[in-house]
C-alpha cells in the first residue's frame, strides 16, 4: 500500500499540536474542578481558563474581558449574529442603532449564511453582497446596501474554499461611518495571518481551535467592549451570561496554547506559500485546461483551489484518496450536497466547471516530497478521468 | 463525506469497462441528471435486435462512472426489449448498493440506456 499518508485538507481541520495535547492533559482528571466552584482546587481550573483567555486576547491584540469561549466557529458566529439581531429587538439599552437589516456576502460559510437565513424567517432583512471573479467583496455594492435600518455587517476574513482575503479594513471604515456593528468570521485566518482586531477595526470576530492545531469543539468570540449582544444559550452565568454551560476546560486550555504557538510560528506562512506555489506551478505545467479560482495575491498562504475542466471533483478526490492523498472538493462542510459550491458560482464560474473543483490546503507538516508526490500522481489521474469524460473527446 | 462505496463500486470506478465511443453507432443516448447536472453518453451497436456492443463516457461522480460501467456489462448481449426494462434498482443491486444520496447517479445510467434505445428505435423505423 501507500508509504505515507499525505494530508492536504488543513482548511477542513488540522491535527492538534503535541504541545497543545500536553497542555490539555492535566485538565481531564487531575485538575478537573469546575471553574465556578469556590474551593481552592477549582481555582486551578479557573486560572487555567483565564490564562487561556489572555493568550487568545494577546493573539488578537484584544483585552481578555473581550473574549468569550464557545464550542467552535459555528457557535461563535451564531452568538455574534443572533446576539446583535436580538439585542436590537429587546429592551437592551445603548445598542448602536435600531433596525432590522443585516448585510453579509454570498460566499460566507454556512455557519454565517444559515443564521442569516433563519433571521430572515424571523422578520429580519438580509442583503447578500456579490463578489468579483477573485471572490473579493464588491465594496460599492456594500456601500449602497447600507441603510438607516442596517444594524450589522458580517463579512468573512478569508474564504475557506478559495482562500481569498477580504478587504476588512475598508469594510470596517464603512461600518463605522454608518454606525453599524461589524462582525468577521476569521475562522480561516486566526493563527495563520495577522488578526489584530484594532487594525481590522471589527466589533466581533469568530475563531475556531481546530483550524490552527488546537482541539476540535472549542472556539471563541471577540466582542469589542461596549458591543451589545443578548445570549441565546441560557443557563448558568458563564462567560458573562453570554454563553451558559460549564467550561470545556481542557479544550479552552488547548485553544490558548494553540494561540501561543501561532505567535511563535509566524514564519510558517512563508513555507506554506512556497509549497503552495510549487504545487500551483507544477499543475500549471503538467495539466492543461485548469483554472485557479481565488485571488492571485490576497489569499491564504496554504490554499490552492483548482477547477480541472471536464473532470468531476469527487472522482478526482477518490482517486487521490487511493494514493493516500487527502483533499476536498469544494467545501467539506457542504459535501453531500449536490449543488456545486455556492462560492465558485458567486465568483461567476459556470456550473459544470464548478463541478470540477478541488481544494488543496497545506499545513505545518507538509513537505516538498508531499508536493512532488501529488505532482507525480495527479496528472495521470486527470488524464485517465478525462478519457472517461464526454467533454474530453477532442483530446 | 466518507466514501461509503461498496468494493464493487470502487472496482468499477477504478477499472471502468467499455469506456469510449462507437463509430457509426445504432443508437446514442445523451442524458443529464436533473438532480446534479452530471452527464452520460452511451453508444450502442445492435444486431438482430440484440445489443452487441456498448460504450460510454460519463462526467460524474464515482457512483455515476460505476453505474455506467456495470450498465454496459448488463446490456451487452441482451435483446433490446429487455434492456429497455432495466431500472436503476437493477443497477444498484448489481453494484451491491449505493449510498442514499447517490441513488440518482444510477438513474442517470437508466436514463442513458433508455435514451440510447429510443434513439435506435427511431432510427430503425426510418430505415
Ligand atoms: C470560514 C469558516 N467558518 C466557520 C467554520 C465552522 O467552524 P467550527 O467547525 O469550529 O464550528 C468553518 C469550518 O468549517 C469555516 O471554514
Ligand atoms: S453526483 Fe452527479 S452523478 Fe453522482
Counting atoms of ligand 1 from 1, which one is nearest the CA of A219?
10
CB A110 within 8 A of CB A334: yes
The strand order across the sheet containing A290-291 reads A290-291, A303-308, A357-361
Distance A315 CA to ligand 2 centre (A): 10
Q: Look at residue A103 in the predicted model and tell me its pLDDT.
A: 98
Task: Verify whether ligand 2 is closer than 6 Å to residue B38 (CB atom).
Answer: yes
Class of domain A18-264: alpha beta
Domains annotated on chain B, with CATH: 7-121 (3.90.1010.10)
pLDDT tens digits for range B90-107: 999 999 999 998 999 999
Q: Identify which of A318, A335, A338 has the shortest CB distance to residue B36.
A: A338
Domain with CATH 3.40.640.10 in chain A: 18-264
Q: Does residue A307 carry a catalytic annotation?
A: no
Number of cross-chain residue pairs from A and B with Cβ atoms under 8 Å apart: 59
Distances from the Cα of A56 to the Cαs of A68, A102, A322, in angstroms? 10, 28, 39
For residue A334, what pLDDT band results from cuts at 50, 70 and 90? very low
Class of domain A6-15+266-387: alpha beta
Interchain contact, A336 vs B38, CB within 8 Å: no
CA distance B114 to B82: 11
- Flag the least confident range among A111-125, A318-332, B65-79: A318-332
Q: Output the pLDDT for position A39.
A: 96
Take residue A14 and report the three cell numbers written for it: 488540522
Question: Distance (Å, rounded) from C-alpha A119 to C-alpha A109?
Answer: 16
Model pTM score: 0.93
> What is the interface pTM, i.e. ipTM, of the complex?
0.89
Q: Give yes or no for residue A395 having a pLDDT over 50.
A: no
Q: Choosing among B10, B23, B59, B70, which should be mutated to test the A contact, i.e. which has the most A CBs within 10 A? A: B59
Instruction: Say how many C-beta atoms besides its own lie within 10 A of residue A144's C-beta.
Output: 11
Q: The cell 484584544 sits on which residue? A: A62
Residue with the nearest Cα to atom 5 of ligand 1? A73
Please list the residue range(s) of chain A that carry CATH number 3.90.1150.10. 6-15+266-387
Q: What is the mean pLDDT of chain A?
A: 94
Question: Closest Cα to atom 8, ligand 1: which residue?
Answer: A73
Amino acid at each position: 500500500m501507500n508509504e505515507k499518508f499525505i494530508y492536504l485538507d488543513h482548511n477542513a481541520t488540522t491535527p492538534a499540536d503535541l504541545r497543545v495535547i500536553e497542555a490539555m492533559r492535566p485538565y481531564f482528571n487531575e485538575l478537573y474542578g469546575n471553574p465556578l466552584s469556590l474551593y481552592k482546587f477549582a481555582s486551578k481550573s479557573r486560572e487555567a481558563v483565564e490564562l487561556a483567555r489572555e493568550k487568545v486576547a494577546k493573539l488578537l491584540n484584544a483585552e481578555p474581558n473581550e473574549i468569550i469561549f464557545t464550542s467552535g466557529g459555528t457557535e461563535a458566529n451564531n452568538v455574534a449574529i443572533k446576539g446583535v439581531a436580538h439585542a436590537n429587538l429587546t429592551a437592551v439599552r445603548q445598542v448602536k442603532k435600531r433596525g432590522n437589516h443585516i448585510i453579509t456576502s454570498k460566499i460566507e460559510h454556512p455557519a454565517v449564511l444559515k443564521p442569516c437565513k433563519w433571521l430572515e424567517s424571523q422578520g429580519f432583512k438580509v442583503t447578500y453582497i456579490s463578489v468579483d471573479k477573485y471572490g473579493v467583496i464588491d465594496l460599492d455594492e456594500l456601500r449602497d446596501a447600507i441603510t438607516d435600518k442596517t444594524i450589522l455587517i458580517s463579512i468573512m476574513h478569508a474564504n475557506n474554499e478559495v482562500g481569498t482575503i477580504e478587504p476588512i479594513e475598508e469594510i470596517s471604515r464603512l461600518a463605522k461611518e454608518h454606525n453599524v456593528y461589524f462582525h468577521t468570521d476569521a475562522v480561516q485566518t486566526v493563527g495563520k495571518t495577522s488578526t489584530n482586531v484594532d487594525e481590522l477595526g471589527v466589533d466581533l470576530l469568530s475563531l475556531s481551535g481546530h483550524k490552527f492545531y488546537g482541539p476540535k469543539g472549542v472556539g471563541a468570540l471577540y466582542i469589542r467592549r461596549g458591543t451589545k449582544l443578548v445570549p441565546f444559550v441560557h443557563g448558568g452565568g458563564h462567560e458573562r451570561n453570554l454563553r451558559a454551560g460549564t467550561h470545556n476546560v481542557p479544550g479552552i486550555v488547548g485553544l490558548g496554547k494553540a494561540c501561543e504557538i501561532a505567535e511563535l510560528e509566524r514564519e510558517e506562512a512563508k513555507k506554506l506559500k512556497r509549497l503552495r506555489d510549487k504545487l500551483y506551478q507544477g499543475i500549471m505545467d503538467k495539466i492543461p485546461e485548469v483554472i485557479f479560482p481565488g485571488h492571485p495575491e490576497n489569499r491564504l498562504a496554504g490554499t490552492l483551489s483548482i477547477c480541472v475542466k471536464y473532470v468531476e471533483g469527487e472522482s478526482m478526490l477518490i482517486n487521490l484518496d487511493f494514493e493516500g492523498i487527502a483533499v476536498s472538493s469544494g467545501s467539506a462542510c457542504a459535501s453531500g450536497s449536490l449543488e456545486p459550491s455556492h462560492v465558485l458560482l458567486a465568483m461567476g464560474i459556470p456550473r459544470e466547471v464548478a463541478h470540477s473543483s478541488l481544494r488543496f490546503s497545506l499545513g505545518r507538516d507538509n513537505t516538498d516530497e508531499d508536493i512532488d508526490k501529488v505532482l507525480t500522481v495527479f496528472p495521470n489521474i486527470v488524464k485517465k478521468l478525462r478519457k472517461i469524460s464526454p467533454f474530453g473527446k477532442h483530446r | 463525506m466518507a466514501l461509503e462505496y461498496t468494493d464493487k463500486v470502487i472496482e468499477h470506478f477504478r477499472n471502468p469497462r467499455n469506456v469510449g465511443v462507437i463509430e457509426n453507432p445504432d443508437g446514442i443516448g445523451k442524458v443529464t441528471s436533473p438532480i446534479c447536472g452530471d452527464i452520460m453518453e452511451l453508444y450502442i451497436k445492435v444486431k438482430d435486435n440484440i445489443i452487441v456492443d456498448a460504450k460510454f463516457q460519463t462526467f460524474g461522480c464515482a457512483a455515476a462512472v460505476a453505474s455506467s460501467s456495470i450498465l454496459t456489462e448488463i446490456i451487452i448481449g441482451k435483446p433490446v426489449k429487455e434492456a429497455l426494462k432495466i431500472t436503476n434498482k437493477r443497477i444498484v443491486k448489481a453494484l451491491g448498493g449505493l449510498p442514499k444520496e447517490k441513488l440518482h447517479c444510477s438513474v442517470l445510467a437508466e436514463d442513458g440506456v433508455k435514451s440510447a434505445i429510443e434513439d435506435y428505435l427511431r432510427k430503425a423505423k426510418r430505415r
